[in-house]
């Protein structure tokens, strides 16, 4: 992804809602990126495959604004979607108390709660001295995200039950479906950062 000329960087905590033990990540991103670029970074860091639609929801004073890629179907449903490609993170989420959620796969409905833990600002002089200052990177995380098309939280729960019990009637089928390499407890910060580095 390279580095960005930005006067701010955001420390984000991202957690899939409704799942215990929690599936979460911590990352640093430049404030100058668009919400669409943040979506692509979240896909990489969480471990999704970018195969479905997404929406961001930002709530300010109990009023929610929705961001995503414009789609004619939304207009028929009387939902106003603001273009996430033209919306900068630092122009949208300007305080750490704001509530930002990220929904991926509107069928399965994977809701991610994004907490802005800190916003740091840097002047231009220091920015040129430290190119890494605005390089997006993952800092920490735990557990793999569910496989694509797992069927939401209920489908994921059934999947885990089947995988953990070799005598479960669905064990073999679910293991084949999820893939032999799928480990729900596995997450690698190094792999996430390697993928972030080549994100276009």
Nearest to 114 by CA among 97, 102, 105: 102
Would you state the pLDDT for residue 7? 80
Would you state the pLDDT for residue 174? 84
Would you state the pLDDT for residue 58? 95
C-alpha dist (Å) from residue 8 to 25, 86, 140, 178: 20, 18, 20, 39
Contacts of 76 (CB under 8 A, 6+ apart): none
Do 9 and 64 contact (CB within 8 A), yes or no? no
Q: pTM of the prediction? A: 0.89
Would you state the pLDDT for residue 146? 95
DSSP annotation of 147 reads P
What the chain holds in terms of domains, given with CATH numbers, is: 8-144+185-197 (3.10.290.30), 146-184 (no CATH)
The token pair that represents 115 in the structure block: 């907490």
For tokens 């997450």, name the residue.
187
Would you state the pLDDT for residue 35? 97
Do 104 and 146 contact (CB within 8 A), yes or no? no
Would you state the pLDDT for residue 2? 46
Please give the chain's pLDDT, 200 residues, in tens.
Answer: 444 545 889 999 999 999 999 999 999 999 999 999 999 999 999 999 999 999 999 998 889 999 999 877 665 566 789 999 999 999 998 888 888 999 999 999 999 999 999 999 876 555 555 556 678 999 999 999 999 999 999 999 988 888 888 888 888 888 888 888 889 999 999 999 999 999 97
Would you state the pLDDT for residue 191? 96
């Amino acid at each position: 992804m390279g580095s960005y000329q930005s006067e701010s960087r955001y420390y984000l905590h991202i957690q899939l809602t409704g799942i215990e033990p929690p599936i979460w990540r911590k990352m640093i991103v430049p404030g100058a990126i668009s919400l669409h670029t943040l979506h692509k970074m979240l896909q990489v860091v969480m471990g999704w495959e970018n195969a479905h639609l997404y929406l961001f929801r930002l709530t300010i004073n109990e009023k929610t604004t929705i961001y995503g890629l414009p789609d004619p179907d939304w207009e028929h449903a009387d939902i106003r979607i603001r273009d996430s490609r033209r919306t900068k993170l630092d122009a949208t989420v300007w305080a750490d108390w704001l509530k930002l959620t990220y929904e991926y796969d509107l069928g399965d409905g994977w809701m991610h709660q994004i907490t802005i833990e800190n916003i740091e600002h840097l002047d231009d002089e220091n920015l040129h001295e430290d190119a890494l200052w605005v390089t997006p990177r993952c800092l920490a995380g735990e557990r793999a995200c569910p496989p694509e098309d797992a069927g939401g939280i209920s489908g994921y729960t059934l999947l885990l039950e089947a995988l953990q019990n070799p005598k479960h009637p669905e064990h073999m089928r679910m293991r084949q479906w999820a893939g032999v390499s799928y480990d729900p407890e596995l997450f690698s910060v190094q792999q996430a950062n390697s993928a972030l580095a080549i994100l276009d």
